[in-house]
Amino acid sequence: MKKRISLLFALVLSLAPTGAAWAHGGGPGLNYDPCARPIGQYFVHMAVYQPELNRFREYCGSIPAGGKTLMVFDLVGAAMHQIPVGVDIIDQGGRDGGYKVLSVPATEHPSGVIDVNLALKPGHNYTALVTVGESPASTTVVFPIRVQMWWSGFEIPALLAIVGIVFAIYYSLRLWREQAAAMRKAAMRGKIRAVSGA
């Protein structure tokens, strides 16, 4: 019994890294990950979380709703931890063509992770600019972020449901009217027979 449990545990551990790679949209590697941007031989990976909506779901370019949002930028590659990296978040939904809503000054990040907390507005488009290195040798990678309206994910199913409900009500009323008319006709025929028999 203990051997079976050990084998099962080993199997789960061996599959864990594969599952994590696919969760990031990684597939065969960061070169195929839509949430990663190359910086030479290294990468910057972005993951977006909305704990109030779903504590375990990770997003990238398309966010399901506005609200409190955590953006995590992973600096992949040990050398990236000793290079100044800064982050700017631009709201493209402004009337003036966009404005900066958050800025993390360029500095070294020994942990290799940059966390950004902000409230996103539904229906707005954002751009995350990650600048690696110092000018004039710096490189900036761009992560576009689209925030859907809160109802957009339910729009088509909701419309179909409403159409179905309206059709059901219409059909039910039509049947009720036909039955009521048939009952009135039957009652009238009964009265005519009663009068004729008298």
CB contact burial 40-64 (16+ within 10 A = b; e otherwise): eebbbbbbbbbeebeeeeebbeebb
Output the CA angle 43-108-82, nearest 5 degrees.
Answer: 65
Q: Residues 181-190: what's their mean pLDDT?
A: 77
Per-residue confidence band for 97, with pLDDT thresholds at 50, 70 and 90: low
DSSP annotation of 137 reads: S
**181 or 89, which is more confident:** 89
> If you average pLDDT over every residue of the chain, what do you get?
78
More confident residue, 54 or 15: 54
DSSP annotation of 79 reads G
Asked if the model's pLDDT at residue 12 lies above 70, the reply is no
> pTM value?
0.61
198 vs 57, more confident = 57
Of the listed ranges 15-24, 172-181, 189-198, the least confidently predicted one is 15-24
Is there a contact between 130 and 87 (Cβ–Cβ < 8 Å)? yes
Average pLDDT over every residue of 17-22 = 34
